[in-house]
Amino acid sequence: MTATIDLSRMPVRTANEVIKGYGAAYKDIEIINPDARHYIGVGLTSPIHVRIHGSAGYFCGGLTDGPIIDVEKNVSWGVGDNMLAGTVVVGGNAGALAGEALRGGTIVIRGNMGSRAGQVMKQGTLCCGGNASFMAGYMMYGGRIIILGDSGERVGEDMAGGEIYVGGRIASLGNDADVADPTDEETASIMAFLDRFGMAFSGRFKKVVCAGKDLRYGTPEPRKRTIPFSSFSGNGTSYWNEKAVEDIRVKSAIGRYRIRGFGTARHVPHFGDIAFRVDVARALEHPETAGPVQMRTFLGDRSGGRALDLSMPVMIAPMSYGALSPRMKAALGIASRLSGISENTGEGGMYSVERAEARQLIAQCLSGRLGWNIHDMKRSDGLEIYISQGAKPGLGGQLMAAKLTREIADMRGIPEGMDLRSPSRHPDILGGDDLIMKVQEFREAVGWRLPVSIKLGGGRTRDDVKIALKDGLDFVELDGLQGGTGAAGSEVAEYVGIPTISALMEALDGLSEIDAAGSLPIVVMGGIQSGVDAAKAIAMGAAAVGLGTAMLIAGGCIGCMDCSSGNCPVGIATQAPDRVAKFDVEKQALRMHAYLESIRYQLAVVTRALGYADIRQLSRDDLVALTPEAAELTRLPYAPEFRHCPAAASPPRKETKAETGTANFPRRSFQLIRAMAQTDASDETAQQGILGALLDPRENPFPESRAAHLDDVVFLSAALTRLVIDPYREACGTWTRISRCIEIGETSGDERSVEIAQPFLFTGFDEAPENIRTALAGALSATGCGYIGRRPPAAGDPAGRPYPWFQIVAGGDRPDPGARGLIYVAGDDFHPQTMARLDAGQLLGLAVKGRHLAEGLPYALEQKLDLLLLDGGGGIETPWTELSTVPDLTLLRDAIRMLRERNMEEEIALLHFGGIRSGTDVAKSLAMNCTASVIGAAMGFAAGGAGDGDSMVFPEAAAVSDLEASMVNWIKATAQEAAIIARCTGKTNVHNLEPEDMRTITLAAHRDLGIPLASGQHRREAF
Amino acid sequence: MCAIAGILFKNGRRGHFDMSTGEALTRILDATLHRGPDSAGWALYREPEPGRLRMRFLIPDGGDAESETATIQAVLEAQGVQVIDASPLGCTIGMTVCFEGDLLALTHAIEHQVKLVSVGESLDIIKDVGQPLDLAPRYGIGDFDGAHGIAHIRLATESGVHPDTSHPFWACGFADIATVHNGQITNYWIMRRRLERRGMTFQTENDTELIAVYLAYRMSRGASLEDALKTSLADLDGTFSYLVATRDAIGYAKDKLAAKPMVKYEDDDMIVISSEEVGINRLFPGRALATTEPAPLTYGLWSRSK
């Protein structure tokens, strides 16, 4: 006996419940009139036979374990998505992503299958009787794909494991894929498989496998001691500080972008720059402020799921088992249970001990679908789709090989010992339109029982939250720039994303722009350290806050910031058994619990002090801003008079220990969080003391005397409104053409131009020792970069390779016909000078400092010069002036303004000189519409130089080959950094970076660069 | 972030297909409604009338049809356009006019005074905030039975939800060319400023308008539509699948990441395009269709007469 379900008469949502009901009774099912409807059979975990008479839509048989599904005709995207076991046979064709994230079982497509079949699959067999479309086996980690027909383009693109057997023609191989011959056993196994499904094949298979060139980073990053943040962030630090120089040196050693854990290290405007309107400490003395405070918070029932029930508006931020040790995960579970709040799995699957310990656990689903499966979904209390996070918007999760142990690899379903760089985006969430389908699939899988939330890193938040609302998400976990991470590209951690207070403002403003204020709860996280911070966030409009880094500190983290290496000395962020053993689960769980209870105390006291009995009564009216930045970013009134300084009475204790490596968690934060973790909740006096200290604001890190800095500029990453480009796998162009004009369509080719492979030109080495100059010439040739100087660094590259040299013509120099361009320097008093090309192909340009721009720019346009060099570095005609100059950023702003006023932007190439230290700095000058950056001091440091006043001293007797290697390494790493930033903003070419991709976090930078602040603007007029 | 739809009948044949073209486009949109609930629009290619142009305008927020009609008429007549007929339809006004001059110059002269949606001998763009099944009867979409058309539903990303940010977009100044798009152009501002410096103008901040203006610009400089489609693959960044319709053809371009879906069904009589197979299946219930998906970094043109 079988049951029949007619989908023309029953919605899929009901049908799926009925299917599961029959499944529980082991009864087979016939489905009629499916007409390509989506989600049929999603979430089925019974071994029953389901026959679909017609075509099915998206995710047919997705998130299942054990069923046998026959689809008579076609299926759309994602058939058998994330199936654990079972069999799906499709009589016709399959759309894109057949067998995506397959974790076991068998999928047979008798016809053709669409693009990206088997993306991130890990086990099982996906078999296609016809032809595959492009990128079959994209990023697969394991399992077997059999294609009887042709492979399609780029088969096996970025696969990390598994095999793809192709019976027909291999159209083209993907990146890091290779062809091998199948063994006899493999062929026999395939033939037996085909036989089982009655599929005929005669011919020979070719086997596509991972070539293994991209699985690991090459040179390991040297271990470095922590540099105190006070030496590189805040007022009065030197531009070429210890950290800037170390960063350059490391890159010149490893030849790639750097990776590190923890979070943003420099100062960022934060909740500490905001205060309450009342003196909380004093209000405590009035007995009428005592009494209970209502804090219980329900989250996630917008769509009818069962809400999370939090004893206070606090949750533990998502942190993976993998990044964290099993003991730490268990302790977090215990602490969350004891304090009645929720815990979150983070990437990589659900750790059973943690599931058992936590009362409420959110299961997070990431791009690689690592460890994701229907059973863990069902035993979770909420499902969360990770799109991005504050620490690394645009990058997927990273887990270095040292932490990818056998156990963790097994749980995630991937090969052990690779440097895991998860995809930057989901296979099937390529925008808001696809997101809604994934949300629906998840809801179907768990019978609409659980909340579905989304994790977003702050960036284009104003638009992202609108999509999240329309796509029916139950709440948003929103993470600011200060969010922590186990591993991230260090430049992305520092410069992609907006501060937490800005992210929150943008989210709230976005919702109110579409008259949806209050209809989508925002859980904000990223650098929240105490109940005082949390109360401010809630008063601003957050529904709850998330705690990540602060929980780790409460649990014993010492802030060495070496989270990515696997060498965590306290057993928190490591998998090494001897280190993990150092972690005492019970002790640290109780400390974290005490920390959470101290937060509860602080929330209650603040609420009462403001005269309320319910924490939701807190509002913006209770807050003021203590710094001009915080006021602008939040639109709170600027009221520095609220800067109470109770501690000022006694002189600060003389500190002997050095500061931490991050301004967002200074030593004081560590002390206070530890005090909270070690103080009994009922010890009112001690708790009051801690609260008093927390209410004491930090000094303004951005006083008026501090000049605008490139560090004050951040990028907005892609999330839901646009697609992030995968920095590990997808190309991003850096090819650079220096020319007077930029064409639309095909370039005519008859314009004068100089082309370089990277947007880098180097300068400053005119007087450097010969070995340095020779090495530079070699490095420039090897990397396709150019040089600007009064003479070329060496008569020629020893290997005779050419590199373009632009001659600086100053102080009576004779123009050289061998130079690819002549750049005249506007002298102290600007006066038009005779400039002439020595041949028609030579570029002609002018270098101007700020004071010459107003005259120099119109002159350059009038003379139809090819390029204008914006000299914010103190004088390009003299080496190393950058070392003693504060870079002038107004030059960029004014040049663009003047060009736009004349409607002549892009009618002269802009080169930017002054203070470029990294690929991120280059990205910033490119986004300010420059064609290339001119780099001086940074390359000096890369070559081992040391700054001495305004000169650079090089070590003697360094071998040319070593020097050249260092220089090449630095160029490669820096180019990677610039391209990673571009990809984060959704570009496949660094020259497509736009001013609109940037925001500033200080008023000084906002003023000097003319770029909007990260938040604070009112409702958009044009919207 | 949206769904696109297109239908083209070859050689005037309709085979056994008995749904009107407007009805079919609407059904495709409705089947994929989850992809774009904010607004909907159609670019319909009606029978040309010799010597006549069709123009459609949006009534601005708060405006009324009657006074707007008068305003538009005055603006057009000042440019030597003879208005034959004017009839309001929903938030739009359709006009039939006689105009002998240069359309690009006319467009530039009037685009800041009135909200021009489409101009062409055949093209008629209808778009509004709302969902296809509600809008179609209000705008008489089902009555349209021409040989081709494209359509769109939108989920707003980085620009607002208004009739004028709905798709399709007319290639401003170029008769009979319309675009719909699914995806996001990420070098929007660079390209916009580049095109503006060359005299092109924009009505909205919607990136699909940029595609339309880009194609218009390239063709104004003598490129063929196919050539413009080809160079758009390099000039536009981000991820996109877009359709462009002309008087007698539908073209498409798809970026190198090919992340935005586009499924095509073709038989002897017709071509149907949808963002999802479920859209095409809505026209052929119960049938298993052989569909294909254009490859990354490709473009093409399907003609009504081949």
What tens digit of pLDDT does each residue of A918-963 get?
Answer: 999 999 999 999 999 999 999 999 999 999 888 999 988 899 999 9
Question: What element of type H or E holds A504?
Answer: helix A500-513
**Which of A488, A431, A487, A480 has its CA nearest to residue A457?**
A480
pLDDT tens, position by position, A78-110: 999 999 999 999 999 999 999 999 999 999 999
Retrieve residue A755's tokens. Answer: 């082309």
Asked if pLDDT for residue A656 goes beyond 90, the answer is no
Give the integer Cα–Cα distance in Å for A140 and A163: 9
**Cross-chain Cβ contact B218/A744 below 8 Å:** yes
**Cross-chain Cβ contact A723/B239 below 8 Å:** yes
Retrieve residue A237's tokens. Answer: 């630090």
Asked if pLDDT for residue A1021 goes beyond 70, the answer is no
Alpha-helical regions (H) of A183-271 = 184-196, 242-254
B172 is catalytic: no
Residues in chain B within 8 Å Cβ distance of A897: none
Domain assignment of residue B264, yes or no: yes
Residues in chain A within 8 Å Cβ distance of B291: 74, 93, 95
Residues in chain B within 8 Å Cβ distance of A466: 156
Q: Region A759-766: what's the mean pLDDT?
A: 97
Q: Which of A114-123, A1003-1012, B204-213, B281-290 has the lowest mean pLDDT?
A: B281-290
Of A436, A463, A745, the CB nearest to B157: A463
> CB within 8 A of A594, min separation 6: which ones?
A554, A676, A677, A678, A679, A680, A681
**Cross-chain Cβ contact A76/B288 below 8 Å:** no
CB pairs below 8 Å between A and B: how many?
179
Q: DSSP class of residue A167? A: S
Of A37, A433, A994, the CB nearest to B2: A433
DSSP string, A585-634: HHHHHHHHHHHHHHHHHHHHHHHHHTT-SBGGG--GGGEEESSHHHHHHH
Tokens 């470095």 belong to residue: A224
Helix axes A770-783, A960-984, angle to 10 degrees: 40
pLDDT reported for residue A741 = 86
Asked if pLDDT for residue A708 goes beyond 60, the answer is yes
Measure Cα distances from A162 to A169, A425, A526 in Å.
19, 21, 38
Mutate to test the interface with A, among B186, B203, B240 (most CBs of A within 10 A): B186
Distance from CA of B281 to the nearest CA of A (A): 7
What is the domain-level CATH number for residue B131?
Answer: 3.60.20.10
Domain assignment of residue B147, yes or no: yes
Q: Which of A198-207, A278-287, A813-822 has the lowest mean pLDDT?
A: A278-287
pLDDT tens, position by position, A336-373: 999 999 999 999 899 999 999 999 999 999 999 999 99
Torsion angle of C-alpha atoms A651, A654, A660, A665, degrees rounded to 10: -20
Give A515-571 as a 3 state SS string.
Answer: CCCCCCCEEEECCCCCHHHHHHHHHHCCCEEEECHHHHHHCCCCCCCCCCCCCCCCC
**Which of A760, A808, A765, A764 has its CA nearest to residue A782?**
A760
Give the integer Cα–Cα distance in Å for A374 and A89: 20
pLDDT reported for residue A479 = 96
Q: Can you tell me the ipTM of this complex?
A: 0.92
Q: DSSP class of residue A75? A: B
pLDDT tens, position by position, A851-880: 999 999 999 999 999 999 999 999 999 999
Tally Cβ neighbours within 10 Å of residue A586: 10
Please give the residue range of the domain that contains residue B242. Answer: 2-47+122-303
Of A74, A133, A1020, the CB nearest to B289: A74
Distance from CA of B278 to the nearest CA of A (A): 5
Q: Region A16-31: what's the mean pLDDT?
A: 95
**Cross-chain Cβ contact B228/A745 below 8 Å:** yes
Domain assignment of residue B286, yes or no: yes
pLDDT reported for residue A743 = 86
Chain A residue with CA closest to B193: the answer is A905
Retrieve residue B306's tokens. Answer: 């081949």
Alpha-helical regions (H) of chain B = 21-31, 65-78, 103-110, 132-138, 188-197, 207-220, 225-235, 277-281
User: Are A406 and A367 in contact, with CB atoms under 8 Å apart?
Assistant: no
Residues in chain A within 8 Å Cβ distance of B1: 431-433, 467, 720-721
Mean pLDDT by runs of 10 across the 306 residues of chain B is 90 85 96 89 94 94 91 95 95 94 90 92 94 94 94 84 87 90 94 93 88 92 93 94 94 90 91 91 83 88 82
Retrieve residue A805's tokens. Answer: 């040299």
**Cross-chain Cβ contact B278/A134 below 8 Å:** no
pLDDT band at A1022 (very low <50, low <70, confident <90, very high): very low
Q: Region A290-309: what's the mean pLDDT?
A: 93
Question: What element of type H or E holds A871?
Answer: strand A867-871
User: Are A706 and A712 in contact, with CB atoms under 8 Å apart?
Assistant: no
- Would an 8 Å CB–CB cutoff place B27 in contact with chain A? no
Largest CA distance in chain B: 56
Asked if pLDDT for residue A830 goes beyond 70, the answer is no
Share of chain A above pLDDT 90, in %: 82
Q: CB-side exposure of B216: number of CA atoms within 13 Å? A: 29
Question: What element of type H or E holds A789?
Answer: strand A786-789
Tally Cβ neighbours within 10 Å of residue A222: 10
The span from the first CA to the last CA of chain B, in angstroms, equals 32
Side chain identity, residue A944:
G
Domain assignment of residue B52, yes or no: no
Q: Region A398-413: what's the mean pLDDT?
A: 88
Asked if pLDDT for residue A751 goes beyond 90, the answer is no
Give the integer Cα–Cα distance in Å for A496 and A881: 29
**Cross-chain Cβ contact A433/B205 below 8 Å:** no
Distance from CA of B207 to the nearest CA of A (A): 11
User: Are A519 and A511 in contact, with CB atoms under 8 Å apart?
Assistant: yes
**Cross-chain Cβ contact A95/B277 below 8 Å:** yes
Chain A residue with CA closest to B38: the answer is A470
pLDDT reported for residue B292 = 84
Domain assignment of residue B285, yes or no: yes
Q: Region A153-182: what's the mean pLDDT?
A: 96
pLDDT reported for residue A649 = 46
Domain assignment of residue B110, yes or no: no
pLDDT band at A829 (very low <50, low <70, confident <90, very high): low
- Would an 8 Å CB–CB cutoff place B12 in contact with chain A? no
Domain assignment of residue B82, yes or no: no
Helices vs. strands in chain A: H and E counts, helices first:
26, 41
User: Are A820 and A797 in contact, with CB atoms under 8 Å apart?
Assistant: no
Side chain identity, residue A486:
G
pLDDT tens, position by position, A201-212: 999 999 999 999
Tally Cβ neighbours within 10 Å of residue A812: 5
Domains and CATH numbers, chain A: 281-396+423-619 (3.20.20.70), 712-742+752-952+963-1009 (3.20.20.70)
User: Are B22 and B143 in contact, with CB atoms under 8 Å apart?
Assistant: yes
Asked if pLDDT for residue A9 goes beyond 80, the answer is yes
Residues in chain B within 8 Å Cβ distance of A514: 161
Give the integer Cα–Cα distance in Å for B105 and B99: 12
Q: Phi and psi (nearest 5°) for A261?
A: -105, -165
pLDDT reported for residue A1019 = 64
pLDDT band at A169 (very low <50, low <70, confident <90, very high): very high
Q: Region A566-594: what's the mean pLDDT?
A: 96
Residue A286 CB burial class (10 angstroms; 0-12, 13-18, ≥19): exposed
Distance from CA of A915 to the nearest CA of B (A): 25
Of B2, B194, B296, the CB nearest to A742: B194
Distance from CA of A867 to the nearest CA of B (A): 18
Of A35, A466, A725, the CB nearest to B281: A35
Measure Cα distances from A32 to A7, A761, B48 in Å.
6, 67, 45
pLDDT band at A143 (very low <50, low <70, confident <90, very high): very high
Q: Region A979-988: what's the mean pLDDT?
A: 96
For A892-916, letters b (16+ CB in 10 Å) and e give bbbbbebbeeeeebbbbbbbbbbbb
DSSP string, A657-668: SPP-S-TTS-HH
Q: Region A775-785: what's the mean pLDDT?
A: 95
- Strand segments, DSSP code E, in A43-169 are 49-53, 68-71, 87-90, 103-109, 123-128, 144-147, 163-166
Largest CA distance in chain A: 99
- Three-state secondary structure call for residue A455: strand
pLDDT band at A797 (very low <50, low <70, confident <90, very high): low
Number of domains in chain B: 1
Handedness of CA A966, A971, A976, A977 (dihedral sign): positive
Helix axes A500-513, A531-540, angle to 10 degrees: 20
Retrieve residue A43's tokens. Answer: 């979430």
**Which of A871, A878, A946, A947 has its CA nearest to residue A916?**
A871
Domain assignment of residue B128, yes or no: yes
- Would an 8 Å CB–CB cutoff place B194 in contact with chain A? yes
